[in-house]
Copies of this chain bind each other. A is one copy, B any other.
Amino acid sequence: MGDSTTENPEIHPKFVTGEAGYILEDVPHLSDYIPNLPTYPNPLQDNPAYAVVKQYFVNVDDTVCQKIVVHKDSPRGKHFRRAGPRQRVYFEADDVHACIVTCGGLCPGLNTVIREIVCGLYHMYGVTKILGIDGGYRGFYSRNTIPLTPKVVNDIHKRGGTIIGTSRGGHDTSKIVDNIQDRGINLVFIIGGDGTQKGASVIFEEIKRRGLKVAVAGIPKTIDNDIPVIDKSFGFDTAVEEAQRAINAAHVESVSQENGIGLVKLMGRDSGFIAMYATLASRDVDCCLIPESPFYLEGPGGLFEYIEKRLKENGHMVIVIAEGAGQDVLAKCMEHDASGNKVLQDVGHWLSHKIKDHFTKKHKMTINLKYIDPTYMIRAVPSNASDNVYCTLLAHSAIHGAMAGYTGCITGPVNGRHAYIPFQRVTEIQNKVVITDRMWARLLASTNQPSFMSTQDITEEKKVEEPRPTQLLEGENCQDSKY
């Protein structure tokens, strides 16, 4: 964390420590930089629905424990502030002017999150002024806004995509904060991935610098599941479900033809979660290639050798490749091939070409390779039931936090409980499939694919992992991935 602190001197994680190694990594609050803010009773206390639920308000001391696998005498480790409604809030319903923006690529559940922010603000807190920012960050300054009401959003969770549009880039801190200020917006909900949340962090810093009473709430969105700390990102379950269709088609194609190979490219620029879970769920995959685990094509222990082996044994095989896998091999090949780079941009096409070339030309072996890229068909579906419930909790947690004055943080489930997490905790590092972990071992066992690794690789890979702030803070080897 040393480095990042040097780079962003503004970002001071708020740490609170306790006995037995207890650490709370707290989030910013409006009162940190605006003195004497008045508070109001939470309007939820008058809600008939909550009248019967006495324990509804979150105790101010509640924190969520990150470390679940412990020893009798291990330190308690890091905690986050529990999400949920507070007894007192920092905004009055009539004064609230909220806005919602969605950035980056599509992800199942975007519309559900939008719907639940609107309905939650309206029904729980009586907020009526809610704007949709059209088409991502640049919508703040270059386009008209879209008024959002419970009626407008009523059915949108049954549709894929985002009704307020999205885009990449377009982040201009001054213009955005000017616009927020000019419109009198005081609750900003920013739904987006890694880059978007970095942008949100900068917006928060500028708002703080200007001393504005504006809460900035990040809602992490990444279909790749590459956001750290939180259990999983919304839409991920739906994406894995949809990916099954493509894998199943690849399986059917491969078994119906001699030396049939079904090749499926799935999302995952830097992390292979969708590929890994889809492979584990499907059971029809013979080889899963992800960015975290390097592979090579030629020679002993290489992919071609494995393909040949499988075709000889079974006559067919299915390969799943995450879009970010094999970038190093691909880069090397491009140097070899000299020109025609355009062809090679897509790892799926590149691998198709390589496999066909290897077996047809070099081995005079007829293979029937079918390449499937279901990316946009996966991204665009509506969220499934499980993601719908997730999105509801996420939206509500974000609302409760912002109304209670928490700002400069994202919301997400940690070990099943929703918590508030400082921006820098999720933007500094990426969540990756840990390939020295049991989940990856399970995958290897399930596919029986080679690890494509020499001892040297493994050692190298560990070196890269070690400086992770997470690991350092947790400080011991009993913690591993979720399962």
Contacts and interface: CB of A to CB of B under 8 A. Distances in A.
Contacts of A54: 436, 458
A451 B442 CA distance: 46
A72 B384 CA distance: 37
B53 A252 contact: no
Contact of A249 (B160, B278, B385, B418): B160
A346 to B, nearest CB: 10
A10 to B, nearest CB: 27
B379 A253 contact: yes
B106 A61 contact: no
Contact of A49 (B166, B340, B441, B480): B441
A192 to B, nearest CB: 13
Contacts of A255: 161
Contacts of A385: 237, 240-241, 243-244, 277-278, 281-282
This protein's copies in its complex: 4
A29 interface: no
Nearest to A49: B444
Interface stretch (A18-26, A32-40, A211-219, A323-331): A18-26
Nearest to A50: B441
Interface in A150-164: 157, 159-162
A123 B441 CA distance: 13
A342 interface: yes
Interface in A44-95: 47-56, 59, 61-65, 67-73, 76, 79, 82, 84
A106 to B, nearest CB: 6
Contact of A56 (B159, B246, B256, B441): B441
Interface stretch (A177-185, A367-375, A402-410, A424-432): A367-375
A144 interface: no
A250 interface: yes
Contacts of A68: 64-65, 68, 414-417
A389 B453 CA distance: 25
Given A84-B438, A436-B54, A444-B50, A161 B483 contact: no
A480 to B, nearest CB: 6
A61 B53 contact: no
A173 interface: no
A437 interface: yes
Interface of A is mostly: mixed
A313 to B, nearest CB: 13
Contact of A451 (B51, B282, B451): B51
A470 interface: no
B159 A252 contact: yes
A99 interface: no
A473 interface: no
A298 interface: no
A149 interface: no
Contacts of A4: none
B376 A250 contact: yes
A454 B70 CA distance: 43
Nearest to A83: B483
A249 B245 CA distance: 14
A72 B16 contact: yes
Nearest to A377: B249
A204 to B, nearest CB: 26
A69 B73 contact: no
Contacts of A376: 249-250, 253, 262, 370-372
A379 B245 CA distance: 12
A393 interface: yes
Interface of A: 16, 18-20, 22, 24, 47-56, 59, 61-65, 67-73, 76, 79, 82, 84, 106, 115, 123-124, 135, 157, 159-162, 165-167, 231, 237, 240-241, 243-246, 248-250, 252-253, 255-258, 262, 277-278, 280-283, 340, 342-343, 368, 370-374, 376-377, 379-381, 384-386, 388-389, 392-393, 396, 413-418, 435-438, 440-442, 444-446, 448, 450-451, 453, 458, 477-478, 480, 482-483
29 contacts: A52-B441, A54-B436, A55-B436, A55-B480, A59-B478, A63-B71, A63-B72, A68-B68, A68-B415, A76-B76, A84-B438, A135-B257, A157-B283, A160-B249, A166-B257, A231-B416, A240-B389, A241-B385, A246-B377, A249-B380, A250-B376, A252-B380, A253-B379, A277-B385, A281-B392, A371-B376, A372-B377, A393-B483, A416-B482
